[in-house]
Amino acid sequence: MNFEKIKEFLLEKKIYLIVGVILVVGFLGLKKGNRQESSPAVENQMMQSSSSSSTAASNVNATTSSSSSASKTVTCDISGAVKQQGVYTLKNGARLQELIEAAGGTTARAQLKAINRAILLKDQDKIHIPYKGEKVEPAATAGSAANNQSSGPANNSTDQGSGGDKVNLNTANVTELQKLTGIGQKKAEQIIAYREQNGSFKKIEDLMQVSGIGEKTFASLKDQLAI
Protein backbone atom coordinates (compact mmCIF):
# COMPACT_ATOMS: atom_id res chain seq x y z
CA MET A 1 0.00 0.00 0.00
CA ASN A 2 1.34 3.43 -0.99
CA PHE A 3 0.89 5.55 2.13
CA GLU A 4 2.41 8.56 0.45
CA LYS A 5 -0.36 8.68 -2.12
CA ILE A 6 -3.02 8.25 0.54
CA LYS A 7 -1.53 11.12 2.53
CA GLU A 8 -1.47 13.35 -0.55
CA PHE A 9 -5.13 12.47 -1.26
CA LEU A 10 -6.25 13.38 2.26
CA LEU A 11 -4.38 16.67 2.14
CA GLU A 12 -6.08 17.52 -1.17
CA LYS A 13 -9.53 16.66 0.21
CA LYS A 14 -8.98 18.30 3.62
CA ILE A 15 -10.78 21.50 2.63
CA TYR A 16 -13.88 19.51 1.66
CA LEU A 17 -13.94 17.67 5.00
CA ILE A 18 -13.74 20.95 6.93
CA VAL A 19 -16.60 22.48 4.91
CA GLY A 20 -18.73 19.35 5.49
CA VAL A 21 -18.18 19.47 9.23
CA ILE A 22 -19.12 23.17 9.31
CA LEU A 23 -22.32 22.50 7.39
CA VAL A 24 -23.35 19.65 9.72
CA VAL A 25 -22.72 21.77 12.84
CA GLY A 26 -24.64 24.71 11.37
CA PHE A 27 -27.63 22.53 10.50
CA LEU A 28 -27.82 21.10 14.02
CA GLY A 29 -27.62 24.58 15.57
CA LEU A 30 -30.42 25.92 13.32
CA LYS A 31 -32.70 23.00 14.21
CA LYS A 32 -32.14 23.56 17.92
CA GLY A 33 -32.96 27.26 17.60
CA ASN A 34 -36.30 26.54 15.86
CA ARG A 35 -37.23 24.13 18.63
CA GLN A 36 -36.55 26.79 21.30
CA GLU A 37 -38.61 29.39 19.43
CA SER A 38 -41.65 27.09 19.22
CA SER A 39 -41.68 26.36 22.97
CA PRO A 40 -42.99 29.84 24.09
CA ALA A 41 -45.84 29.60 21.56
CA VAL A 42 -46.92 26.24 22.92
CA GLU A 43 -46.72 27.52 26.49
CA ASN A 44 -48.81 30.58 25.56
CA GLN A 45 -51.52 28.38 24.03
CA MET A 46 -51.60 26.24 27.16
CA MET A 47 -51.95 29.31 29.38
CA GLN A 48 -54.82 30.65 27.24
CA SER A 49 -56.59 27.28 27.40
CA SER A 50 -56.18 27.18 31.18
CA SER A 51 -57.54 30.72 31.49
CA SER A 52 -60.63 29.84 29.38
CA SER A 53 -61.30 26.79 31.55
CA SER A 54 -61.06 28.88 34.73
CA THR A 55 -63.50 31.48 33.32
CA ALA A 56 -66.00 28.78 32.33
CA ALA A 57 -65.75 27.20 35.79
CA SER A 58 -66.36 30.60 37.41
CA ASN A 59 -69.48 31.16 35.29
CA VAL A 60 -70.85 27.73 36.25
CA ASN A 61 -70.21 28.42 39.95
CA ALA A 62 -71.93 31.82 39.68
CA THR A 63 -74.99 30.26 38.03
CA THR A 64 -75.16 27.50 40.66
CA SER A 65 -74.84 30.06 43.46
CA SER A 66 -77.64 32.19 41.97
CA SER A 67 -79.98 29.19 41.67
CA SER A 68 -79.21 28.15 45.24
CA SER A 69 -79.93 31.67 46.51
CA ALA A 70 -83.26 31.81 44.67
CA SER A 71 -84.56 28.71 46.45
CA LYS A 72 -83.69 29.74 50.00
CA THR A 73 -87.16 31.23 50.70
CA VAL A 74 -90.85 30.41 50.22
CA THR A 75 -93.67 32.95 49.96
CA CYS A 76 -97.11 31.87 51.16
CA ASP A 77 -100.57 33.40 51.61
CA ILE A 78 -102.45 32.72 54.82
CA SER A 79 -106.06 33.62 55.61
CA GLY A 80 -108.82 32.63 58.02
CA ALA A 81 -108.56 32.52 61.80
CA VAL A 82 -105.20 34.24 62.21
CA LYS A 83 -104.57 37.67 63.66
CA GLN A 84 -102.89 39.13 60.59
CA GLN A 85 -103.95 37.58 57.29
CA GLY A 86 -101.57 38.22 54.42
CA VAL A 87 -98.56 37.10 52.40
CA TYR A 88 -95.35 36.13 54.20
CA THR A 89 -91.87 35.07 53.07
CA LEU A 90 -90.12 32.42 55.17
CA LYS A 91 -86.97 30.36 54.87
CA ASN A 92 -87.15 27.28 52.67
CA GLY A 93 -88.18 24.25 54.71
CA ALA A 94 -90.47 26.24 57.02
CA ARG A 95 -93.57 24.55 58.42
CA LEU A 96 -97.14 25.76 58.79
CA GLN A 97 -96.61 26.58 62.47
CA GLU A 98 -93.94 29.14 61.50
CA LEU A 99 -96.31 30.75 59.00
CA ILE A 100 -99.01 30.98 61.66
CA GLU A 101 -96.52 32.63 64.05
CA ALA A 102 -95.53 35.11 61.34
CA ALA A 103 -99.23 36.00 61.00
CA GLY A 104 -99.43 36.84 64.71
CA GLY A 105 -100.84 33.48 65.79
CA THR A 106 -104.36 32.11 65.61
CA THR A 107 -107.49 33.74 66.98
CA ALA A 108 -109.74 32.23 69.63
CA ARG A 109 -112.08 31.15 66.86
CA ALA A 110 -109.49 28.95 65.11
CA GLN A 111 -110.36 25.30 64.53
CA LEU A 112 -106.89 23.95 65.25
CA LYS A 113 -107.78 20.26 65.17
CA ALA A 114 -108.65 20.64 61.48
CA ILE A 115 -105.10 21.59 60.47
CA ASN A 116 -101.69 19.95 60.53
CA ARG A 117 -99.22 22.56 61.76
CA ALA A 118 -96.25 20.30 61.01
CA ILE A 119 -96.60 20.24 57.22
CA LEU A 120 -93.81 21.67 55.09
CA LEU A 121 -94.61 24.78 53.08
CA LYS A 122 -93.91 25.29 49.40
CA ASP A 123 -93.58 28.52 47.46
CA GLN A 124 -96.97 30.07 46.52
CA ASP A 125 -98.96 27.93 48.99
CA LYS A 126 -102.40 29.29 49.94
CA ILE A 127 -103.28 28.35 53.51
CA HIS A 128 -106.69 28.87 55.15
CA ILE A 129 -107.06 28.39 58.91
CA PRO A 130 -110.72 27.41 59.45
CA TYR A 131 -112.96 28.98 62.04
CA LYS A 132 -114.83 26.98 64.64
CA GLY A 133 -118.08 25.84 63.10
CA GLU A 134 -116.67 25.54 59.57
CA LYS A 135 -117.44 22.20 58.00
CA VAL A 136 -114.04 21.10 56.77
CA GLU A 137 -112.24 17.80 56.51
CA PRO A 138 -108.92 17.77 58.39
CA ALA A 139 -107.18 15.96 55.52
CA ALA A 140 -108.27 18.61 53.03
CA THR A 141 -107.05 21.42 55.25
CA ALA A 142 -103.72 19.77 55.98
CA GLY A 143 -103.25 18.94 52.32
CA SER A 144 -103.68 22.51 51.16
CA ALA A 145 -99.97 23.21 51.55
CA ALA A 146 -98.78 19.78 50.46
CA ASN A 147 -100.80 19.90 47.24
CA ASN A 148 -100.35 23.65 46.66
CA GLN A 149 -104.08 24.21 46.31
CA SER A 150 -105.22 27.74 45.69
CA SER A 151 -107.89 27.88 48.35
CA GLY A 152 -107.35 25.04 50.85
CA PRO A 153 -110.39 24.22 52.97
CA ALA A 154 -112.19 27.24 51.60
CA ASN A 155 -113.20 24.94 48.74
CA ASN A 156 -116.00 23.88 51.07
CA SER A 157 -117.38 27.41 51.19
CA THR A 158 -119.95 26.71 48.48
CA ASP A 159 -123.14 24.91 49.38
CA GLN A 160 -122.40 21.42 47.99
CA GLY A 161 -125.56 19.98 49.59
CA SER A 162 -127.87 22.07 47.46
CA GLY A 163 -125.80 21.44 44.33
CA GLY A 164 -125.57 25.17 43.59
CA ASP A 165 -122.83 27.79 43.59
CA LYS A 166 -124.03 29.57 46.71
CA VAL A 167 -121.51 31.11 49.11
CA ASN A 168 -121.46 29.67 52.60
CA LEU A 169 -121.44 32.56 55.08
CA ASN A 170 -119.73 30.44 57.73
CA THR A 171 -116.81 29.19 55.64
CA ALA A 172 -116.18 31.73 52.85
CA ASN A 173 -113.05 33.86 52.98
CA VAL A 174 -112.70 37.51 51.95
CA THR A 175 -112.13 36.73 48.29
CA GLU A 176 -115.15 34.44 48.02
CA LEU A 177 -117.45 36.85 49.85
CA GLN A 178 -116.58 39.52 47.30
CA LYS A 179 -118.24 37.37 44.64
CA LEU A 180 -121.58 38.28 46.22
CA THR A 181 -123.57 41.08 44.63
CA GLY A 182 -122.76 44.44 46.27
CA ILE A 183 -120.08 43.02 48.60
CA GLY A 184 -116.65 44.65 48.36
CA GLN A 185 -113.51 43.94 50.32
CA LYS A 186 -114.48 46.16 53.26
CA LYS A 187 -117.90 44.53 53.71
CA ALA A 188 -116.38 41.08 53.27
CA GLU A 189 -113.97 41.81 56.10
CA GLN A 190 -116.86 43.09 58.25
CA ILE A 191 -118.75 39.82 57.65
CA ILE A 192 -115.75 37.77 58.80
CA ALA A 193 -115.22 40.07 61.80
CA TYR A 194 -118.88 39.60 62.81
CA ARG A 195 -118.44 35.84 62.42
CA GLU A 196 -115.38 35.86 64.67
CA GLN A 197 -117.11 37.89 67.39
CA ASN A 198 -120.55 36.28 67.33
CA GLY A 199 -119.98 32.79 66.03
CA SER A 200 -121.45 31.10 62.99
CA PHE A 201 -124.51 32.51 61.22
CA LYS A 202 -127.62 30.61 62.22
CA LYS A 203 -129.65 31.74 59.20
CA ILE A 204 -128.83 33.84 56.14
CA GLU A 205 -131.02 36.68 57.43
CA ASP A 206 -128.46 37.20 60.21
CA LEU A 207 -126.28 38.84 57.55
CA MET A 208 -128.33 41.99 58.03
CA GLN A 209 -126.82 42.22 61.51
CA VAL A 210 -123.53 43.18 59.85
CA SER A 211 -122.96 46.93 59.69
CA GLY A 212 -123.64 48.34 56.24
CA ILE A 213 -125.84 45.49 55.01
CA GLY A 214 -129.51 46.43 54.99
CA GLU A 215 -132.66 44.86 53.61
CA LYS A 216 -132.06 46.19 50.10
CA THR A 217 -128.56 44.74 49.89
CA PHE A 218 -129.70 41.48 51.45
CA ALA A 219 -132.56 41.14 48.97
CA SER A 220 -130.15 41.44 46.05
CA LEU A 221 -127.89 38.62 47.23
CA LYS A 222 -130.01 36.29 49.39
CA ASP A 223 -130.31 33.78 46.55
CA GLN A 224 -126.51 33.49 46.51
CA LEU A 225 -126.21 32.63 50.22
CA ALA A 226 -126.03 29.38 52.13
CA ILE A 227 -125.39 28.31 55.71
Q: Where are the domains of the chain?
A: 1-70, 71-153, 158-227
Kindly compute the dihedral angle of the four CA atoms of residues 140, 142, 143, 144, in this order, to the nearest 10 degrees.
90
Average pLDDT over every residue of 78-103: 92
Entry field: residues in the chain: 227
Write down the architecture of domain 158-227 according to CATH: Orthogonal Bundle (1.10)
- Please report the pLDDT score of residue 152 as a whole number: 44
Q: How confident is the model at residue 133 (pLDDT cuts 50, 70, 90)?
A: confident
Residue 155 has a pLDDT of: 44
> Confidence band (pLDDT; 50, 70, 90) for 78?
very high
Quote the CA–CA distance of 226 and 179 in Å, as a whole number.
13
Confidence of residue 105 (pLDDT cuts 50, 70, 90): very high
**Per-residue confidence (pLDDT) for residue 6, from 0 to 100:** 65
Residue 163: the pLDDT is: 39
**Contact predicate 170/176, CB 8 Å:** no
| Residue with more model confidence, 80 or 54 | 80
- The residue-averaged pLDDT of 152-180 equals 68
Above 60 in pLDDT, residue 34? no
- Nearest alpha carbon to residue 216 among 181, 171, 176: 181
Burial of 222 (0-12, 13-18, 19+ CB in 10 A): middle
Q: What is the CATH number of domain 71-153?
A: 3.10.20
According to the model, what pLDDT value does residue 101 have? 93
Please check the confidence at residue 207 and state whether its pLDDT lies above 70. yes
Selected residue with higher pLDDT from 165 and 9: 165
Q: Residue 61 pLDDT more than 70? A: no
| Four-residue CA torsion sign, 89, 95, 96, 101 | negative
Report the DSSP pairing between strands 73-80 and 167-168: unpaired
**Which tops the pLDDT comparison, 121 or 43?**
121
Tell me, what's the pLDDT at 60?
A: 52
Q: Is the pLDDT higher at 114 or at 41?
A: 114
Rounded to an integer, what distance in angstroms lies between the CA atom of residue 132 and that of residue 99?
A: 20
Q: Is residue 56's pLDDT more than 70? A: no
DSSP assigned state of 151? S
